[in-house]
Amino acid sequence: MLYHKCFDDHSHLFLVRELNVGSVAKNEHYDKMVSYEMLVETRVAYASGALTIKISLKILWFTLIGFLISITNASADNQSTTVTVAVASNFLPTMKLIALAYEKHTKNNVVLSAGSTGKHYAQILNGAPYDVFFAADVQRPKKLEDQGFGIRGSRSTYAVGALVVWSTHIDTVNEEQLLPLPTVFRTNIQQLLSGQSNYTIALANPKLAPYGKAAQEVLAALELSEDTIFKMVRGENISQTLQFVLSGATDLGFIALSQVRFSSNKDINQHYWIVPQSLYTPIEQQVIQLRQSIATDQFMRFIKKPSIQKLIENSGYHTQGTASVG
């Protein structure tokens, strides 16, 4: 494989390659001046004739520029000091504290986008520019990893959530009432709903929010359905569900324990029961890194610090042994 030297009007050197096909090749020397707009020809000889390959230097020039721009953009992304985080609504209050601690520790910035896990998943599939995704389940992060939208090996469980039932009709006066046994909980709920033909229950949309799916499992375990309840109200996410119950729009609602811990409503701690874990599938919440950058790598390491793990536990979650991937 040989190369001939060519020069353009501005004395820039170009290399024009000769291609040898089989044992027969015809070499053409280009000793004339060429410009960016000019087509360079290389003739490849065949036994039956000659094939002319035309390469536009202008196309090559813009291809080179595009390649250099892509390298520059990739380098800029890697040097970014901002981490964009998609976070499940139930974990938003805790994530705000984590983000503040991270910003103070690194001087980097964190941008938060809260919503249902299902909606975030759809946004990521459609190209939403998130760096990290804190979901409220295992399925969506795993799907993103399998589909090539997440960095393989970055997926892990960061918390296991707890479901509570909240109502102004509930008066929690001691620890035994706060965390009743499954049989006691069943009796309490049945008594709470007895004689209430127009009772309304709020839960997050089971198709979008894992906490809504867990609430649906609890109702099924208690043999309660929309046939036995006058009205079922579904929030788009767990945050909207909390708004329903606190505003009085519904009589009872299934929300996250973390929401009780972070609520500014002083009376909220006196009106809930923790739902027995045996009545629903554990709400394992996973995180996955979507894009690579120095700041994002630092953030992923930061959330595993003992102090951050303690913060998550104090927020109403379980973290023991949450490093496993399922």
Q: Find the range with the poorest average confidence among 190-194, 227-231, 299-303.
A: 227-231
Residues 261 and 122 in one domain: no
Residue 303: both structure tokens together = 């959330």
Residue 320 has what pLDDT?
Answer: 64
The secondary structure of residue 133, as a DSSP letter, is E
At 273, phi and psi to the nearest 5? -125, 140
Mean pLDDT, residues 208-220 taken together: 92
Shared domain check, 190 and 98: no
User: 80-89: per-residue pLDDT in tens?
Assistant: 689 999 999 9
Q: In terms of pTM, does the model score above 0.85?
A: no
Residue 112 counted as domain residue: yes
Q: In Å, how far are 66, 74, 75, 290 from 71, measured between CA atoms?
A: 9, 5, 6, 19
Q: What is the total count of domains within the chain?
A: 3
**Contact in structure between 64 and 77 (CB atoms under 8 Å):** no
The band of 190, judged by pLDDT with boundaries at 50, 70 and 90, is: confident
- State whether 138 and 181 are in the same domain: no
The pLDDT value given to residue 83: 97
Give the pLDDT score at 20.
38
Q: Which token pair is 255? A: 């929300």
Q: What are phi and psi of 209, to 5 degrees?
A: -120, 125
Residues 175 and 272 in one domain: yes
The pLDDT tens digits of the residues spanning 136-189 come to 999 999 999 999 999 999 999 999 999 999 988 887 655 555 666 677 787 777
Range of the domain at 115: 80-161+283-314
Share of the chain above pLDDT 70, in %: 67
53 with 194, same domain: the answer is no
**So what's the pLDDT on residue 172?**
66
Q: In the chain, how long is the greatest CA-to-CA distance?
A: 100
What CATH number should be reported for the domain holding residue 264? 3.40.190.10
**Cβ within 8 Å of residue 292, ≥6 positions away:** 77, 78, 151
Give me the pLDDT at residue 14, please: 34
Same domain, 287 and 299: yes
**47 pLDDT more than 50:** no
Return the structure tokens found at 82: 């901002």
User: What pLDDT digit, counting tens, does each position of 108-146 carry?
Assistant: 999 999 999 999 999 999 999 999 999 999 999 999 999
CB burial string 32-52: b at 16+ within 10 A, e below: eebeeeeebebebbeeeeeee
Unique residue bearing structure tokens 């601690």 = 101
**Strand 200-204 relative to strand 82-88, pairing:** unpaired
Q: In what order do the strands lie in the sheet with 156-161?
A: 109-115, 82-88, 132-134, 283-289, 156-161
CB of 168 closer than 8 Å to CB of 272? no
State the alpha helices, DSSP H only, in 203-237: 210-221
- pLDDT surpasses 50 at 304: yes
Which segment of 166-175, 204-213, 239-248, 314-323 scores lowest on mean pLDDT?
Answer: 166-175
* pLDDT for the residue numbered 41: 40
What is the rounded distance in angstroms from the CA atom of residue 57 to the CA atom of residue 67?
15
